[in-house]
Amino acid sequence: MTSKKPNQYLFKKCSSLKDIDDLRNQYLDGLIEPQELYLELMVRNADAYAVILNDIRIGYFLLGEAGALVEYYITQKNIDLADEIFAKIIQDFAIRKALCKSFDHLLLSCCVGKQSKTSVMGIHFREYHPSPAIAKFSDVTVRLATSDDEMHIIEINEEVFDHDYEVLEYINKKQLLLFEKDSALIGFGIFSRVIEGKPDFDIGMLVVKDFRGQGAGQFIVGYMADYCIKNGWRPIAGCGVDNIGSRRCLEKAGFIAGYRILAFDF
């Protein structure tokens, strides 16, 4: 009786994400919830590798900063090989960490079987139920930011924008709203399409220090979510696990923290 010959996998580095567009679209369509913007920004700069078996591409994986695994997909036809391929990827590429959405069932299952440590990095909000309007903000006016507002927004920015140049990018895309009361800026809100062609928009906001603790954040988040819905988009959000203030604000506005970003160490 002859023993079964082990599968021979080839991991081929791609020139760009476009090389695996077909496979990645299958991956994204198979998720039960929309992609997380925090991870999508990592994906855009990640190294992509196609998984090849018998000259046929049967999946892919993406390596982000410091070689962290940020995405892994095997076609349904070859799903029985997923654990075996995953183990080989971890070994061949000396991967020490993977970042995983808790609703990414394939990657989650593979990581659980290999991890030495698991921690929660962030919170995902995918379900939204509008909360009652806040009466004391009924006289707040909302407008799109213009280039004249750029420097003021940069001055008050606190980690909403990683780089100053992003402010003008949002202004030019008409994705930055200013909230004003009696001509004073109380805060701003932003919304970002996570993946081109899909209706999911990640929302974020900042409240000016003088207006904090008064419910302004809840008002801005609710307005931004309703704004997306009126335009036929789906509002989603996320925050760091340690950002208690943002989580509380999002939940008061009507978002439900149903999912997590998990970090697996191997």
CATH number of the domain at 94, please: 3.40.630.80
CATH number of the domain at 243, please: 3.40.630.30
Regarding whether 176 and 131 lie in a shared domain, the answer is yes
Domain assignment present for residue 266? The answer is no
Regarding whether 59 and 40 lie in a shared domain, the answer is yes
pLDDT of residue 4: 60
Mean predicted lDDT score pLDDT of the chain: 95
DSSP-derived 3-state class of residue 102? coil
Domain span including residue 236: 125-260
Q: How confident is the model at residue 138 (pLDDT cuts 50, 70, 90)?
A: confident
Domain termination site, one of 65, 91, 115: 115
Average pLDDT for 205-210: 95
Share of the chain above pLDDT 70, in %: 97
Domain termination site, one of 68, 84, 115: 115
pLDDT of residue 132: 73
pLDDT at 236 over 80: yes
Domain assignment present for residue 1? The answer is no
pLDDT of residue 135: 61
Q: How confident is the model at residue 151 (pLDDT cuts 50, 70, 90)?
A: very high
Rounded (to 5) percent helix, strand, coil in the chain: 35, 35, 30
pLDDT at 262 over 80: yes
Cα distance between residue 204 and residue 225, in whole Å:
10
Backbone angles phi, psi at 265, to 5 degrees: -100, 140
pLDDT of residue 102: 98
- List, for residues 9-27, the tens digit of each pLDDT value: 999 999 999 999 999 999 9
Tell which residue, 103, 35, 107, has the closest CA to residue 69. Answer: 107
Regarding whether 159 and 221 lie in a shared domain, the answer is yes
Regarding whether 233 and 141 lie in a shared domain, the answer is yes
What pTM did the predictor assign?
0.90
**Count of structural domains, the chain:** 2
The string of DSSP letters for 210-248 reads GGTTTTHHHHHHHHHHHHHHHTT-EEEEEEETT-HHHHH
Contact indicator for 13, 47 with CB cutoff of 8 Å: yes
Provide CB contacts within 8 A for 197, sequence distance 6+.
Answer: none
Domain assignment present for residue 2? The answer is no
pLDDT at 1 over 90: no
Regarding whether 60 and 13 lie in a shared domain, the answer is yes
Regarding whether 140 and 106 lie in a shared domain, the answer is no
Share of the chain above pLDDT 90, in %: 91
Q: How confident is the model at residue 3 (pLDDT cuts 50, 70, 90)?
A: low
How many Cα neighbours within 13 Å face the side chain of 193?
10
pLDDT of residue 7: 81
Regarding whether 169 and 70 lie in a shared domain, the answer is no
Domain termination site, one of 115, 136, 153: 115
Q: How confident is the model at residue 249 (pLDDT cuts 50, 70, 90)?
A: very high
pLDDT at 260 over 60: yes
